[in-house]
Amino acid sequence: MSTSPARRPLPHGPLADGRVSVFTAGEACRKCYSCVRSCPTKAIVVRAGQADVDPDRCISCGQCVLMCSQSAKRVRSSLEEVRGLLASGRPCHAMIAPSFPAAFIDMEPGRLAGAVAACGFRTVHEVAFGADLVSHAYHRRYAAIAPDQPFVISTPCPAVVSCVEKIYPELVPHLADVCSPMEAMARVVRRLAAGPAGAGRAGAGHTSTAAVAGPESARPAVVFIGPCVGKKDEARRTDTVDAVLTFDELTELFAASGVDPAAAAPRPFDPPTAGLGRIYPVTGGLLKSAGIASDVMESPVLIVEGSDRVMELLDVLGRLVREGKPVRTRLFDLLFCDGCIAGPAMPNDLSFYERKKYVVGYIDREPRYLGVEEWAAANTRWLDLDLSVSFTPMAVAEPPVPEEDIRAILARTGKVRPEDELNCRACGYASCRDKAIAVHRGIAEVEMCLPYLISRLEDAISSIKENQERLIQAEKLASMGQMAAGIAHEINNPLGVVLMYAHLLQEELGDGAPPRAREDAERIAREAARTRTIVQGILNFAREEKVDRRPTDINALLGDSLAGARSLDAEGRIRVETDLDASMPSFRVDPRQLRQVFDNVIRNAIEVMPGGGTLGVVSRGLAGAFTVQVTDTGPGIPEDLLPKLFTPFVTTKPVGRGTGLGLSVCYGIVKMHGGSITASNRPGGGACFEITIREPAERAT
Q: Where are the alpha helices (DSSP H) in 143-276?
A: 158-166, 181-198, 230-236, 247-257
The binder of ligand ADP chosen from 650, 671, 678, 692 (CB under 6 A): 650
CA distances from 205 to 52, 209, 295, 328, 391 (A): 31, 9, 32, 29, 9
Closest CA to 409 of 383, 382, 441, 367: 441
Stretch that binds ligand ADP, among 316-324, 470-478, 619-627, 633-641 (CB under 6 A): 633-641
The answer to whether 158 and 206 have CB atoms below 8 angstroms apart is no
CB of 560 to ligand ADP, least distance (A): 19
**Edge-first strand listing for the sheet containing 221-226:** 123-126, 92-96, 221-226, 243-246
Phi, psi torsion values for 605, nearest 5 degrees:
-65, -45
DSSP state of 188: H
- Report helix, strand or coil for 430: coil
The 230-269 contact track toward ligand ADP, x by CB under 6 A, reads ----------------------------------------
Asked if 652 touches ligand ADP (CB under 6 A), the answer is yes
Name residues whose C-beta falls within 8 Å of residue 412's C-beta, 6 or more positions apart in sequence: 446
Q: How far apart are alpha carbons 430 and 416 in whole angstroms?
A: 18
The answer to whether 105 and 2 have CB atoms below 8 angstroms apart is yes
Asked if 634 touches ligand ADP (CB under 6 A), the answer is yes
Stretch that binds ligand ADP, among 43-51, 68-76, 486-494, 653-661 (CB under 6 A): 653-661
Name residues whose C-beta falls within 8 Å of residue 8's C-beta, 6 or more positions apart in sequence: 71
Which of the residues 513 through 542 are near ligand ADP (CB under 6 A)?
A: none
DSSP state of 623: T
The binder of ligand ADP chosen from 687, 691, 693, 695 (CB under 6 A): 687
Asked if 180 touches ligand ADP (CB under 6 A), the answer is no
Asked if 4 touches ligand ADP (CB under 6 A), the answer is no
41 or 659, CB closer to ligand ADP? 659
The answer to whether 20 and 415 have CB atoms below 8 angstroms apart is no
- Report helix, strand or coil for 124: strand
180 or 633, CB closer to ligand ADP? 633
Stretch that binds ligand ADP, among 144-152, 247-255, 380-388, 601-609 (CB under 6 A): 601-609
CB of 568 to ligand ADP, least distance (A): 12
How many chain residues are in contact with ligand ADP, going by CB under 6 A?
20
Phi, psi torsion values for 247, nearest 5 degrees:
-60, -35
Asked if 632 touches ligand ADP (CB under 6 A), the answer is yes
Q: Any idea what the Cα angle at residue 641 is, between residues 640 and 647, rounded to 5°?
A: 135
Asked if 663 touches ligand ADP (CB under 6 A), the answer is yes
The binder of ligand ADP chosen from 135, 154, 540, 600 (CB under 6 A): 600
550 or 682, CB closer to ligand ADP? 682
CB of 647 to ligand ADP, least distance (A): 9
286 or 665, CB closer to ligand ADP? 665
Asked if 339 touches ligand ADP (CB under 6 A), the answer is no
Stretch that binds ligand ADP, among 125-133, 193-201, 296-304, 655-663 (CB under 6 A): 655-663
Asked if 662 touches ligand ADP (CB under 6 A), the answer is yes
Which residues make up the interface to ligand ADP (CB under 6 A)?
Answer: 600, 604-605, 608, 632, 634, 636-637, 641, 645, 650-653, 658-660, 662-663, 687
